[in-house]
Amino acid sequence: MKPRRVAIAAALAVAVGAASVGLAAPEKVLEGEFARQRWLAGASERDVVVGDHRWRVVEAGAGPTIVLVHGFTGSKENWLPLMRRLARTHRVIAPDLPGWGDSERVDGADYGPLAQAERLKSFLATLESKPVLLLGHSMGGQIVGLLAAREPQVAGRIGLMSSAGVRFADNDFGRAVLAGENPFEVTDRASLDRYLGIVFVDPPWVPWPASAALIRQRRDDVAFEQQVLDGIGRGPQALQLEGELDRIAMPVLLLWCRDDRVIDVSAAEIFHRGLRASRTVLLAGCGHMPMMAQPDNVAEAVGAFLEAPLPSGEGLG
């Protein structure tokens, strides 16, 4: 067989093999992409048992510790693009919160924000050093804020990115949540595309079979997501953080995208008014996932926040 025909035959064989894997186990294709992103970040995974849950953690780098806490329906993998940048100067740790991702979920357990804040406290106690920054996104920001209000020594500084926990200007997402719906629910390709359209200004295209794996995972979590959303978005704990902002003693980075369709950017001003010392960074051209959409800009904002003294009451920037 001629060399060109050999090359074509080899390419076809690889394509057929990949398609076969996709049909049989689309999750393996998705995990392969996550493995690629971990490799780019120089990251590794490990398990740790804290309290009554097994946690899965991804970490990279060396130096002062930064801990990243994902949001509702999120996972540790959301942080890999940002981790790749922060790990150049810091030890960066991103866990799957109990109940989410590859961490353990216990039947009947409470996964509301206050319960998760207590679990996060226990997890941080297992680390060799106190984080110089504890950064939470969306639901993760709500959890980080509640913990910081109760435990002023938990970290040197905290960051609240597109954070839940306070009132904000009415939007379609907020109205749907208060009506008992889950706007993030994914059960098929159409709802996956709708979800991506909510959280990204410029939604990424998720090709098959990775899309099939995501849809299967999210479909299995529909009931769990609804239960958690009852706690973080419309239950008695939903706005508890707003009433405790003045108890947060450490400096706070508030980071939002101006076009966030989930937690409206007006929330940043509510946080700023209630906190003792905060710096606000507003990014243009992105939605609810700044660490994925603009990791360079987020890394720059985090670096500046960690390097510069933060005067009490610093205003919007």
The whole-number pLDDT of residue 29 equals 86
With 50 as the cut, is the pLDDT of residue 56 above it?
Answer: yes
With 90 as the cut, is the pLDDT of residue 309 above it?
Answer: no
CB 250 within 8 A of CB 305: no
The residue among 113, 91, 90, 101 whose CA lies nearest residue 227 is 113
Q: What's the pTM?
A: 0.90
**What confidence category does residue 292 fall into, taking pLDDT thresholds of 50, 70 and 90?**
very high
Tell me the pLDDT tens digit for each residue of 249-267. 999 999 999 999 999 999 9
**What confidence category does residue 139 fall into, taking pLDDT thresholds of 50, 70 and 90?**
very high
With 50 as the cut, is the pLDDT of residue 24 above it?
Answer: no
The whole-number pLDDT of residue 25 equals 65
Question: Which tops the pLDDT comparison, 210 or 309?
Answer: 210
